[in-house]
Amino acid sequence: MSRISSDGVHAHSAHTLSARNLGLGYGGHTVIDDLDVDIPHHQIGAIIGPNGCGKSTLLKAFARLLRPSRGEVSLDGRPLSSYSTRHIATTIGILPQSPQAPEGIAIGDLVARGRHPYHGFAGGWTREDDRAVAHALTVTGLADLADRPLDEVSGGQRQRAWIALTLAQETDILLLDEPTTYLDIAYQLDVLDLLADLNRQEGVTIVMVLHDLNMAARYSDWILAMKDGERKAYGAPRDVITEEIVREVFAVEARVSMDVSCEVPVMSPASSHSLLARRRRDAPSNR
């Protein structure tokens, strides 16, 4: 669990997640089969792959929202199933793709819901709860919007509010399923910069599902590439975002170069995927 340092900044414990021989599915349908992966502590990781490959399913297993059909997920070397619900809720936080909130709820009230795992059957609100909520609102830049209804702020601010809720939960591991979906490029960068700051300044371990390969390469320490429920590649961005792996995983011909300013790979689809190139190719020749 997280703790408070002498200067009031959170320091998060070095928990590790791992999966061994993991099988997952729904109603007899196998989604993931025999997957092995390690989630190193205090790092940012991205899971990439085509739709339906099992990315969101894997996140649910890491949060103990889905029971494996085979193999196991472990936290610090112990099966996830051996921990109490409270321990899981105060160690691992998850933000799904499309979280739902009551109509008209204020941002501050939404964020306060992150404190529920810390309250017993008759537990009341405490100063520690006040501190945790205030901290979450401050680091996400929402302190001045705490009284605003969630449905009256921008998409980027709403996403920050949901992240603030998970921060108020004070978990050491944060799982996010497509945190930049439906956001324009400015808000995408805003959210990803926030997550990078949380990782660097407070040591939160972050695992996120992303569709944008260039964003995954820019913000991650490691990337897991999946296809058809299987692990296709795992490692540093420069080892995973390659022309061969993009072709194998996404069936897309692409050029991959290095951005020398930040030393990360950049993927550009081949010219045959360009609308302008297709129009030029298909245009009748002038004779």
- pLDDT tens by residue, 57-101: 999 999 999 999 999 999 999 999 999 999 999 999 999 988 889
Burial 36-49 (b: 16+ CB within 10 A, else e): ebebebbebbbbbb
Q: Supply the pLDDT for residue 6.
A: 41
User: Looking at residue 122, what is its pLDDT?
Assistant: 53
Of 112-121, 158-167, 200-209, 256-265, the poorest mean pLDDT is in 112-121
Question: d(Cα 156, Cα 163) in Å, to the nearest integer?
Answer: 11
- More confident position, 266 or 273: 266
The pLDDT value recorded for residue 74 is: 96
Rounded to an integer, what distance in angstroms lies between the CA atom of residue 139 and that of residue 136? 6
Strands, sheet with 78-79, edge to edge from the N-terminal-most edge strand: 29-39, 17-26, 70-75, 78-79
Domain 3-91+171-241 has CATH 3.10.620.30: no
On the question of pLDDT at 135 being above 50, the answer is yes
Nearest CA-CA partner of 14 in 39, 36, 37, 35: 39
The pLDDT of residue 228 is 94
d(CA 133, CA 112): 6
Domain ranges of the chain: 3-91+171-241
How confident is the model at residue 124, as a pLDDT?
A: 81
Instruction: Give the count of beta carbons closer than 10 Å to the beta carbon of residue 162.
Output: 22
Helix, coil or strand: residue 245: helix
